[in-house]
Amino acid sequence: MADILLVDMQSFYASVEKAEAPHLKNRPVIVSGDPERRSGVVLAACPLAKRYGVKNAERLGEAQAKCPDAVIVRPRMQRYIDVSVMITELFERYTDLVEPYSIDEQFLDVTGSRRLFGDPFTIAKNIQQAIMREFGIYARVGIGPNKALAKMACDHFAKKNASGIHRLDMSNIRQDLWPLPVGKLFGIGKRMEHHLRRMGISTIGGLAAHPPELLKKRWGINGELLQRTARGIDPSPVTVNTHSRQKAIGHNMTLPRDYSRFEDIKVVLLELSEEVARRARFKQYIGHTVSVSIRGADFDFPSGFHRQRKLVSPTNFGMDIFKTAVKLFKEHWNGEPVRSAGVSLSQLEPCDYVQLSLFDAQEKKISLGKVLDDIHERYGPASLLHAASLTEAGQAFHRAEKIGGHYK
């Protein structure tokens, strides 16, 4: 039987900040966005702050009302990425099968490491101690015979017990996992939970025992997959190649204020399209489909849309993406203020070969894209921009200081 670990760094961003600033050790710390430009949301809160009821993703003002003494730290995304990479290197001392799941969670297959390092509990404890010793970060570890059970062992048990380690397998799945609400199953969101509860399925055990033909009839292969997960079945291996081939390249921007004018929103779509194109060229992809995602200004009552359109020919040129994005936006925008916008390019394929068109000036676009990329590489992402980015609506200069929407 395989031994899979899911290692999760507790309150990762806040833990990095506290580990590198000893004077914050006994202070509640909240890592939040830029409060000077907008209200900001909580990206991470340390356990001391969470005792006051502070939650991730809530507005900074609400968090400060709960915990007035909290120290607010602006995020340093580049540092968090660097620490995450160094933690990956630590894991590779124990196994060569390490799969990052997110910046603060990674899967490890230690099946072949037992002879060298002992049973999975011993390995988990050694890893936990090494992370604390080298980075000052407390890690929780879920253990299971597959990735799904390791993930749920960590989320529902290791994060709540004194040791920070828990194993979930066929010997204890019935008493540990099955009594939990069905929404706790790995892979189930709020909408699917709602549908399952309407069918009378309220627990994970209830889903595991439900007639599979009924689930498959309603949701096809996805219904069968969810039931297999509830029964502790997950054949997906831990692999270092999980993220090597992207399905899509996208860029999303939460705006510092409500954008109500079409001309202003066009500037944002242009900047997003150019960034997506740049990333696609960097990864040497072209894409067949452009998507636009828009979210309204009222976060309590979400509005907006997500639409996509297939291109006549694949591209990684910014203006091609932009023209399609603008068309999609004009067709589906209801005129309400916009607070978040995203553009993505999907159905990717390597750009090793390009189908030339007599009407598309493809070779000129390839040459122009290379020039743009060379300038950005040498002088920075804000060195050459469209004139529209100089208007009040433009965000490119400000975004150039960030990684993933947060300060480096």
Instruction: Read off the DSSP letter of residue 184.
Output: G
- Alpha-helix runs per DSSP H in 251-404: 262-282, 318-332, 362-379, 396-399
Q: To which CATH superfamily is domain 248-407 assigned?
A: DNA polymerase, Y-family, little finger domain (3.30.1490.100)
Tens digit of each residue's pLDDT (9 = 90 or more) over 335-347:
989 988 999 998 8
pLDDT at 366: 65
At 358 the pLDDT is 45
Give me the residues of the chain with pLDDT under 70, please.
34-39, 242-246, 298-302, 352-408
With beta carbons less than 8 A apart as the criterion, state whether 121 and 115 touch: no
User: What number of H helices and E strands is found in the chain?
Assistant: 15, 14
pTM > 0.75: no
Amino acid at 380: G
Q: State residue 59's pLDDT score.
A: 84
- For the annotated catalytic residues, the residue numbers are 105
pLDDT of residue 367: 62
In the sheet with 71-73, reading across from the earlier edge strand, the strands are 42-45, 29-32, 71-73
Identify the pLDDT of residue 197. Answer: 93
How far apart, in whole angstroms, are the C-alpha atoms of residue 139 and residue 125? 10
- Residue range 175-230 forms a domain whose CATH class is mainly alpha
Classify residue 158 by its DSSP letter. Answer: I
| Binding site listing | 8, 104
Is residue 295 within 8 Å of 339, Cβ to Cβ?
Answer: yes
Contact between residue 258 and residue 294 where contact means Cβ atoms under 8 Å apart: no
Give binding residues for Mg(2+) as ranges: 8, 104
Domain 1-169 has CATH 3.30.420.480: no
pLDDT at 301: 62
Sequence-distant (≥ 6) Cβ neighbours of residue 176 within 8 angstroms: 157, 168
Same fold, 1-169 and 248-407: no
Looking at residue 219, what is its pLDDT?
87
What pLDDT, on a 0 to 100 scale, did the predictor assign at position 378?
Answer: 65
Per-domain boundaries in the chain: 1-169, 175-230, 248-407
